[in-house]
């Protein structure tokens, strides 16, 4: 669209409908706006029909509603993370198609179809309390147009549960592993497969888990190759990167 606008200006200049001086005026601010839009361009392949993402934490219900409202005009898909039920009610009021995940705390609005690759993203958790973060990753990955295979509650205390499902995990193109407490699961998984593992430490735990630091350190110090790490509880970030890799 912006490329269209830029093209239109150039066409007008070519046709003589637009003076070079006036064109310069129009373009004066464009480079930066254009920069924004050329960034969109550059990202075109990724973002075509893609959701924009709103990080709701620290925003008011009214702010979230306003941002969603202004986006609806552009007819694009929308993903809002860390959204409360109140935020969802406000968004639902202006867009009936909005969908809320209570566990992932996400609002999604799908106005355009996305092309979905045949390969899968596997999202694995160590325990049941890691599931909200894993669901944030899963909803994110699905919304960007990926097939997701959920493998929950296969933590290292009962390693046999992992071995039961390892074939499914191996079948994926990229694996997100979500774990709290000692954060050992990504190492185990990475030692058993040959695909990139995105590790997400969670703030699950107590005592000396320090709100996820123990898990974060465990993952950073993984003795298995192929593990990279995102911030504590950052399910969105993991889902986003997994989508990037799955769509390469």
Q: Contacts with a second copy in 118-147 (CB under 8 A)?
A: 126-129
**Cα distance between residue 170 and residue 191, in whole Å:** 11
- Beta carbon nearer to a second copy, 119 or 150: 119
# chain residues binding a second copy, by CB under 8 A: 108
Q: What are phi and psi of 211, to 5 degrees?
A: 60, 30
Q: Which 61-90 residues touch a second copy, going by CB under 8 A?
A: 63
Q: How far is the CB of 175 from a second copy (least distance, A)?
A: 11
**The two three-digit tokens of residue 20, written as one number:** 């070079």
- Beta carbon nearer to a second copy, 110 or 161: 161
Point out which span in 68-76, 89-97, 100-108, 160-168 binds a second copy (CB under 8 A).
160-168
Residue 20 contacts a second copy per CB under 8 A? yes
Q: How many CA atoms lie within 13 A of 165 on its CB side?
A: 20
Q: How far is the CB of 230 from a second copy (least distance, A)?
A: 5
- Beta carbon nearer to a second copy, 35 or 89: 35
- Beta carbon nearer to a second copy, 95 or 166: 166
Residue 1 contacts a second copy per CB under 8 A? no
Q: Which of 33, 85, 93, 102 binds a second copy (CB under 8 A)?
A: 33
Q: Which of 89, 93, 171, 244 binds a second copy (CB under 8 A)?
A: 244
**Cα distance between residue 193 and residue 171, in whole Å:** 9
Q: How far is the CB of 120 from a second copy (least distance, A)?
A: 13
C-alpha radius of gyration, the chain, whole number: 22
Q: Which of 5, 25, 32, 101 binds a second copy (CB under 8 A)?
A: 32
**Cα distance between residue 158 and residue 67, in whole Å:** 45
Residue 167 contacts a second copy per CB under 8 A? yes
Point out which span in 73-81, 93-101, 105-113, 224-232 binds a second copy (CB under 8 A).
224-232
Q: Are 227 and 192 in contact (CB under 8 A)?
A: no
**Cα distance between residue 230 and residue 179, in whole Å:** 12
Provide the edge-to-edge strand list for the sheet that holds 106-109. Answer: 52-55, 78-81, 106-109, 99-101
Residue 175 contacts a second copy per CB under 8 A? no
**Cα distance between residue 220 and residue 60, in whole Å:** 34
Q: How many CA atoms lie within 13 A of 248 on its CB side?
A: 9
- Which candidate, 99, 137, 131, 109, places its Cα nearest to that of 246? 137
Name the DSSP class of 205: -
Residue 182 contacts a second copy per CB under 8 A? yes
Q: Which of 51, 59, 77, 90 binds a second copy (CB under 8 A)?
A: 59
**Cα distance between residue 34 and residue 115, in whole Å:** 27
Residue 3 contacts a second copy per CB under 8 A? yes
Q: How far is the CB of 96 from a second copy (least distance, A)?
A: 27
């Amino acid at each position: 669209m912006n490329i269209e606008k830029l093209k239109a200006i150039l066409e007008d200049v070519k046709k003589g409908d637009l003076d070079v001086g006036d064109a310069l005026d129009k373009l004066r601010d464009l480079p930066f706006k254009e920069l924004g839009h050329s960034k969109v361009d550059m990202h075109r392949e990724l973002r075509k029909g893609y959701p924009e993402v709103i990080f709701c934490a620290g925003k008011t219900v009214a702010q979230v509603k306003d941002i969603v409202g202004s986006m609806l005009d552009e007819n694009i898909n929308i993903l809002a993370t860390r959204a409360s039920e109140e935020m969802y009610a406000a968004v639902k009021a202006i867009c009936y198609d909005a969908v809320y995940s209570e566990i992932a705390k996400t609002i999604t609005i799908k106005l355009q179809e996305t092309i979905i690759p045949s390969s899968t993203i596997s999202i694995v958790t160590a325990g049941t309390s890691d599931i909200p973060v894993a669901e944030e990753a899963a909803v994110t990955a699905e919304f960007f147009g990926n097939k997701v295979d959920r493998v929950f509650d296969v933590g290292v205390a009962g390693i046999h549960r992992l071995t039961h499902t390892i074939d499914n995990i191996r079948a994926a193109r990229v694996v997100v592993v979500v774990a709290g407490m000692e954060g050992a699961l990504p190492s185990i998984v990475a030692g058993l497969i040959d695909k990139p593992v995105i590790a997400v430490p969670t703030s699950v735990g107590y005592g000396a888990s320090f709100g996820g630091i123990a898990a974060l350190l465990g993952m950073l110090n993984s003795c298995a190759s192929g593990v990279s790490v995102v911030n504590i509880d950052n399910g969105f970030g993991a889902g986003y990167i997994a989508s990037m890799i799955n769509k390469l």
